[in-house]
């Protein structure tokens, strides 16, 4: 039988970030972009921003930037960085946001790996480039972004061009080229929590669709009426896609610049500028809770605190709820643009089950598909809330390869991306991360989830933070050891025994850590996650003959 295929008669409209720029200009001119400054704030509207984006594109062209060239940024969350977020991809080049907390050798590696041509640097960060002098030959020009202060002397990087001078020399109109949606718009290196950084390259199409996904009501639900304060760095997975979601919706944008870790500044900025949505990793909120409890400060206008990057400890969500800050838990990674799943209680959830639902990593977002697979056999596992295996995903904003072809095995033969996260999925579809493949503790042939143990320990009233790693054990292969930081008022006043006692009715007996080691601070990665590589490297072996707390 002859099959007749009818072609769709819709336009082949290229999904590019130029559309977001179009909305900024035509619809959202009045929306504000506010950036924290040393004194007060810098305030502008999108009507001020767009001509500067045009000028910047002109300046890039004059500097010799051509379609496909990589343009690096070493910058905080501020309006100039936002201008680069638009001008670079919309002129056809590729925005490469450098992680300013990387070690110099990692920075050198990623600049050379990406072969960046021009580098834009915020004035307070010039010092980070000093160790790279003479080692980043692909960089032809460095542009300094400053409110007036000169670059520190002796950086050895030659002449730096001044951002504002470059912009002033250009016209307010730029003839934006026609782009293909498949072109790269940005690249971001993984932060190397479990290995060397690898380049993830986003296309215009992936970023456009991701932006639409972020905005959905069951996802982050950002509207024009919102004021969004992204505390997630603009170098970290494209700031979770927030800059473009804010632009697309016309929401007000509030940037903390370099005061991201300062709870006082964040709370004051959010309060003064009427923030309704905040976004950041759990570490940020741990500091915020302490500050708000101490000062009595409250943020009644905030309706959502987006939180991801690592699991939200139950105690943190409860404290935030008690302060009137409702957390929205999301999961994702650089390779997933990053939005993967969002934890909103599903229709019909009983009120008493809501908190548990919100503490999961949530339900996979529309456009992305998920499955969990057995590590050894690769077989797909059921969504029964019991079986756990590696999360694999596919969809239009999921990476299919790394830049320069590293780690080609990340994609399965049938085209799913291996995330390296281990999870269960409940029959309702909630994803529950058990651990990262590399962090899960193998004890006597069974698996212990370091994440669950950490959460249980962090619920102890005297503990502020806890990270758990597996250390070699002659009999059990590995046993869990916890590194705990007491709350300041309990320093020196909490014992291993009382923590173990506290855990006894919360986790299986054989999960109880062999030791609780008290430390002043958990080492963090460049994006604020517990750095277990550092903990493992510096950990003394499990004490021989230590009466293992677990089996007492
Ligand atoms: P890196 O891989 O260098 O840490 P990413 O920001 O891409 O940088 O990290 C992604 C990883 O962070 C995920 O694979 C997962 O292990 C962890 N992660 C992200 N969000 C969550 C979450 N909500 N709960 C638990 N883990 C999370």
pLDDT in tens, 177-191: 999 999 999 999 987
| Angstrom distances, CA of residue 390 to CA of 45, 330, 333, 412 | 45, 18, 14, 12
Of the chain, the percentage scoring pLDDT greater than 70 comes to 97
Q: Which ligand 1 atom is nearest residue 525's CA?
A: 4
Tokens of 113: 């790996």
Which among 22, 268, 297, 447 is annotated as catalytic?
447
Distance 99 CA to ligand 1 centre (A): 16
* Selected catalytic residue, list 83, 335, 390, 465: 335
Residue 208 predicted with pLDDT over 50 = yes
pLDDT in tens, 110-143: 999 999 999 999 999 999 999 999 999 999 999 9
pTM (two decimals): 0.89
Any atom of ligand 1 within 6 Å of the Cβ of 311: yes
Mutate to test the pocket of ligand 1, among 110, 199, 237, 331 (most ligand atoms within 8 A of CB): 331
pLDDT of residue 550: 43
Kindly report the protein residue whose alpha carbon is nearest to atom 12 of ligand 1.
309
d(CA 154, CA 85): 29
- Residue-level pLDDT at 337: 98
Residue 241 above 80 pLDDT? yes
Compute the CA torsion angle 532, 538, 543, 546 (nearest 10 deg): -40
Compute the distance between CA of residue 73 and CA of residue 117 in angstroms, rounded to an integer: 11
Asked if residue 85 has pLDDT above 50, the reply is: yes
* C-beta 417 within 6 A of ligand 1: no
Return d(Cα 131, Cα 138) in angstroms, integer: 16
Q: How far is CA 61 from CA 81, 141, 335, in A?
A: 18, 12, 29
> What is the distance between the alpha carbons of residues 512 and 317, in angstroms, rounded to a whole number?
23
Quickly state the pLDDT bin for 447 (edges 50, 70, 90).
confident
**Pairwise CA distance, residues 534 & 55, whole Å:** 44
Determine if ligand 1 sits within 6 Å of the CB of residue 310: yes
- Look at the block and give the residue holding tokens 């639409």: 212
- Find out whether the beta carbon of 527 lies less than 6 Å from any atom of ligand 1: yes
**Ligand 1 binding pocket mutation candidate from 188, 310, 435 (most atoms within 8 A of CB):** 310
Q: How far is the CA of 398 from the centre of ligand 1 (A)?
A: 14
What is the Å distance from ligand 1's center to 435 Cα? 10
Nearest atom of ligand 1 to the alpha carbon of 236: 6
Query: Which atom belonging to ligand 1 lies closest to the Cα atom of 334?
Result: 7
Highest mean pLDDT among 180-189, 192-201, 405-414: 180-189
Distances (CA, A) of 46 to 138, 326, 359: 33, 29, 36
Ligand 1: residue whose CA is nearest its atom 27: 310
Model confidence band, residue 155 (pLDDT cutoffs 50, 70, 90): confident
User: Rounded to an integer, what distance in angstroms lies between the CA atom of residue 198 and that of residue 260?
Assistant: 25
357 close to 343: Cβ distance less than 8 angstroms = yes
The answer to whether the CB of 281 is under 6 A from ligand 1 is: no
Look at 404-413, 436-445, 499-508 and tell me which has the smallest mean pLDDT.
Answer: 436-445
- Rounded Cα distance between 222 and 242, Å, is 9
Residue 336 catalytic?
no
Mean pLDDT of the chain: 94
Pocket of ligand 1 contains residue 361 by CB under 6 Å: yes
Q: Quick one: which of 77, 125, 117, 75 has its CA closest to 94?
A: 117
State in Å: Cα 190 to ligand 1 middle. 10
* pLDDT reading at 443 higher than 90: no
CATH number of 8-31+44-207: 3.40.50.12780
Concerning whether 335 is annotated as a catalytic residue, the answer is yes
Closest ligand 1 atom, CA of 529? 4
Q: How far is the centre of ligand 1, averaged over its atoms, from the C-alpha of 432 (Å)?
A: 13
Domain ranges for the chain, please list them. Answer: 8-31+44-207, 366-437, 439-550
Structure tokens at 224: 């024009």
Question: What is the CA(332)–ligand 1 centre distance, in A?
Answer: 6
Residue 254 and residue 272 in contact, taking contact as beta carbons nearer than 8 Å: no
From the list 35, 73, 97, 190, the catalytic residue is: 190
pLDDT at 551 (0 to 100):
42
The closest-lying atom of ligand 1 relative to the alpha carbon of residue 362 is: 23
Pick the CATH number of 439-550 from 3.30.450.40, 3.40.50.460, 3.90.1170.50, 3.30.300.30: 3.30.300.30
Rounded Cα gap, residues 194 and 329, in angstroms: 22
Any bridge partners for residue 330, and if so which?
Answer: 342
CA-closest candidate to residue 188, choices 226, 270, 243: 243
Q: Is residue 442 flagged as an active site residue?
A: yes
Q: What is the number of other CB atoms lying within 10 angstroms of the CB of residue 119?
A: 25
| pLDDT digit string, tens, across residues 296-345 | 999 999 999 999 998 999 999 999 999 999 999 999 999 999 999 999 99
pLDDT band at 552 (very low <50, low <70, confident <90, very high): very low
In the block, which residue shows the tokens 């999960």? Answer: 511
Q: Is the CB of 309 under 6 A from ligand 1?
A: yes
163, 185, 187: which is closest to 87 by C-alpha?
185
User: Cα(first)–Cα(last) distance of the chain, in Å?
Assistant: 74
pLDDT average, residue stretch 103-111: 91
Q: Is there an atom of ligand 1 within 6 Å of 340 CB?
A: no
What would the mean pLDDT of 230-248 be, rounded to a whole number? 96
Ligand 1 contact, 69 CB (< 6 A): no
Using the mean position of ligand 1's atoms as its centre, give its distance from the Cα of residue 333 in Å.
5
Determine whether 426 is an active site residue. no
Residue 410: pLDDT over 50: yes
Look at residue 201 and tell me whether its pLDDT is greater than 90: yes
pLDDT in tens, 361-399: 999 999 999 999 998 899 999 999 999 999 999 999 999
Structure confidence at residue 544 (pLDDT): 57
Higher-confidence residue of 154 and 263: namely 263
Q: What percent of the chain has pLDDT over 90?
A: 83
- 3-class SS at 174? coil
**pLDDT attached to residue 69:** 98
Per-residue confidence (pLDDT) for residue 192, from 0 to 100: 62
549: pLDDT strictly greater than 60: no
- Domain 366-437 classified CATH 2.30.38.10? yes
């Amino acid at each position: 039988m002859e099959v007749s295929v009818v072609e769709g008669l819709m336009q082949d409209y290229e999904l590019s970030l130029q559309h977001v720029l179009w909305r900024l200009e035509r619809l959202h001119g009045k929306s504000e972009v506010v950036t924290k400054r040393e004194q007060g704030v810098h305030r502008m509207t999108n009507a001020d921003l767009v001509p500067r984006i045009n000028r910047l594109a002109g300046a890039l062209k004059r500097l010799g930037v051509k379609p496909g060239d990589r343009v690096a940024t070493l910058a905080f969350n501020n309006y100039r960085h936002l201008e680069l977020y638009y001008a670079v991809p919309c002129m056809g080049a590729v925005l490469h946001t450098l992680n300013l907390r990387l070690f110099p050798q990692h920075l050198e590696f990623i600049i050379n790996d990406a072969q960046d041509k021009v580098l834009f640097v915020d004035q307070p960060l010039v010092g980070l480039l000093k160790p790279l002098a003479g080692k980043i030959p692909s960089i032809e020009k460095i542009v300094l972004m400053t409110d007036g202060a000169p670059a520190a002397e002796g950086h050895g990087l030659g002449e730096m061009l001044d951002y504002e001078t470059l912009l002033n020399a250009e016209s307010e109109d730029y003839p934006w080229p026609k782009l293909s949606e498949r072109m790269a718009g940005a690249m971001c290196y993984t932060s190397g929590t479990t290995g060397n950084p690898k380049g993830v390259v986003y296309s215009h199409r992936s970023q456009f669709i991701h932006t639409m996904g972020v905005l959905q009501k069951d996802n982050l639900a950002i509207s024009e009426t919102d004021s969004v304060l992204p505390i997630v760095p603009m170098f970290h997975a494209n700031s979770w896609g927030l800059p473009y979601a804010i632009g697309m919706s016309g929401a007000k944008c509030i940037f903390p610049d370099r005061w991201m870790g300062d709870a006082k500044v964040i709370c004051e900025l959010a309060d003064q500028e009427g923030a309704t949505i905040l976004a950041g990793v759990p570490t940020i909120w741990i500091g915020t809770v302490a500050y708000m409890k101490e000062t009595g400060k409250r943020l009644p206008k905030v309706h959502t605190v987006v939180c991801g990057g690592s699991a939200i400890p139950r105690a943190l969500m409860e404290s935030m709820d008690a302060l009137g800050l409702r957390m929205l838990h999301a999961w994702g990674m650089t390779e997933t643009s990053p939005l993967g799943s969002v934890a909103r209680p599903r229709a019909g959830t009983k009120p008493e089950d809501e908190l548990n639902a919100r503490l999961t990593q949530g339900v996979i977002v529309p456009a992305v598909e998920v499955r969990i697979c057995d590590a050894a056999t690769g077989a797909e596992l059921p969504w029964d809330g019991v079986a756990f295996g590696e999360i694999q995903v596919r969809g239009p904003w999921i990476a299919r390869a790394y830049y320069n072809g590293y780690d080609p095995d990340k994609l399965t033969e049938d085209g799913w991306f291996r995330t390296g996260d281990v999870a269960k999925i409940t029959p309702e579809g909630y994803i529950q991360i058990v651990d990262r493949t590399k962090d899960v503790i193998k004890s006597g042939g069974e698996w212990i989830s370091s994440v669950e143990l950490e959460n249980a320990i962090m619920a102890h009233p005297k503990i502020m933070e806890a990270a758990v790693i597996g250390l070699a054990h002659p009999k059990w292969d590995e046993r869990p050891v916890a590194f705990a930081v007491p709350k300041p008022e309990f320093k020196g006043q909490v014992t291993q025994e009382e923590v173990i006692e506290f855990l006894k009715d919360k986790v299986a007996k054989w999960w109880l850590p062999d030791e609780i080691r008290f430390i002043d601070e958990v080492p963090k990665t460049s994006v604020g996650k517990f750095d277990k590589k550092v903990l493992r490297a510096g950990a003394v072996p499990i004490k021989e003959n230590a009466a293992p707390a677990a089996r007492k």
